[in-house]
Amino acid sequence: MAEVVVLRWGHRRRDERLTTHVALTARAFNASGLILTDVEDNELVQTIKKLVSEWGGTFFIRMGIPWRVAIEEWKARGWVIVHLTAYGENIQQSDVLERIRLLEQNIVVIVGSRKVPDEFFSSEVADFNVAIGNQPHSECSSLAVFLDRFYRGRALSQTFKNAKLEITPQKHGKKVIRHSAS
C-alpha cells in the first residue's frame, strides 16, 4: 500500500490545537508524517515527539519549508499530490479514490488552515482535488475520512511498534497498559 504524508498549509496561532489534531489524526490513520509549511512551531514538534515516544510508531514532523518548495520536492520524488477541498471531486459520488489507488504511488495530502491560494486547485500543485463533502467542514475530519477510505479501514486496527502505552478496548471504563522499556 502507498505511503501517505500530510502537508499542513498555514498555521495561525489560533490554529495550534487544530494543527496538533491534524497530526494526531494523520498518525492514527497511518500517515508517515506531517509537513507544516511556512512556519515553525517547536511546541508542536515536542508534543508529537512525546506522543510517538509513548504510543509508538515512527511518525515524523518537518516544518518551516515554504509550501511551493515542499510541493516541488515531493513531486520530484514521484509522489502524487492530493488536495482535500470542499470544491473537489466528491469522494462518495466519483471514482476519484479508485483513480488515486490505481496509480500505486505514494501520496502527499494537503490540508489547509486558512483560505488556500487559487493555484492549489491547479494541476501545477494538485494532481487531484478531492472533496469529502461539498460543504464547509473541518480539515481534520476530511483527513480522517480520506485516510480511512484510502486504507479501507485497516488503519484503525494497526499496532504501533515500540509503544510504551497501549489501550485495551473496554465496553466500560478505561484500561491502559504500560509496557516496560526493552
Instruction: Evaluate if residue 8 carries a pLDDT over 70.
Output: yes
pTM beyond cutoff 0.85: yes
Instruction: Evaluate if residue 12 carries a pLDDT over 80.
Output: no
Mean pLDDT for 53-70 is: 94
Say if CB 60 and CB 36 are below 8 A apart.
no
Nearest to 165 by CA among 153, 181, 152, 150: 181
Mean pLDDT for 13-34 is: 89
Q: Which H helix or E strand runs over 54?
A: helix 42-55
Could you give the count of Cα atoms lying within 13 Å of 169 in the half-sphere of its Cβ?
Answer: 3
**Band (1; pLDDT cuts 50, 70, 90):** confident
Instruction: Evaluate if residue 137 carries a pLDDT over 70.
Output: yes
As assigned by CATH, the class of the 4-178 domain is: alpha beta
pLDDT digits (tens, 9 = 90+) for 78-122: 999 999 999 999 999 999 999 999 999 999 999 988 788 889 999
Domain spans of the chain, in order of start: 4-178
Comparing 38-42, 58-62, 84-88, 139-143, which segment has the lowest mean pLDDT?
Answer: 38-42
CA distances for 181 relative to 47, 48, 165, 178, angstroms:
20, 19, 11, 9
pLDDT over 70 for what percent of the chain? 96
Could you give the count of Cα atoms lying within 13 Å of 157 in the half-sphere of its Cβ?
Answer: 4
**C-alpha to C-alpha distance for 49 and 73, rounded to whole angstroms:** 24
